[in-house]
Structure 1
Amino acid sequence: MWFRKGEDKAILGAGFGVSRATAYRYVAEAVRVLAAQTPTLHDALQQVAADGWCTSSSTENCSTPTASPRPPPA
């Protein structure tokens, strides 16, 4: 619930019958679990490059000047 609503952790803990400290620990643990599942920046950039997206800030390094992975309509 905290990720969607951003509720106060003390109120969130009270709603589930746990202390404020426990609510903080649960939220911190959830953040750690989610963070462990995310790709590294290097892996994410490799994936978007493989999908055809341009990740360069300069269009001279891109095959097309658009941010779309599909070619522009003819």
Structure 2
Amino acid sequence: AVLGRLDGSAFAAMNAVRGRIHAERDMAADHRVGRRTRAGVDRGRGFTVERRTPRRVAVAGKAVQQ
């Protein structure tokens, strides 16, 4: 619900704080991405997943009981 409006310096101060919050969020996200790539945790490269037990295959033609 809108309780009032901000004008002038109060509006500018609110936008400055909002901008700082968004900038800090973006910097933290960039920092996390940098740490991930430096640590070699890049998904899709660097390791291979190997299954030790074969997957079970569903039998075709078997009716589902309800």
**What TM bracket, shorter-length normalisation?**
0.3 to 0.5
**Which of 1 and 2 has higher RCO (CA within 8 Å, sep 6+)?**
1
Q: Whose helix proportion is higher, 1 or 2? A: 1
Task: Give the TM-score of the pair, scaled to structure 2.
Answer: 0.37
Task: Give the TM-score of the pair, scaled to structure 1.
Answer: 0.35
Structure showing greater Rg = 2
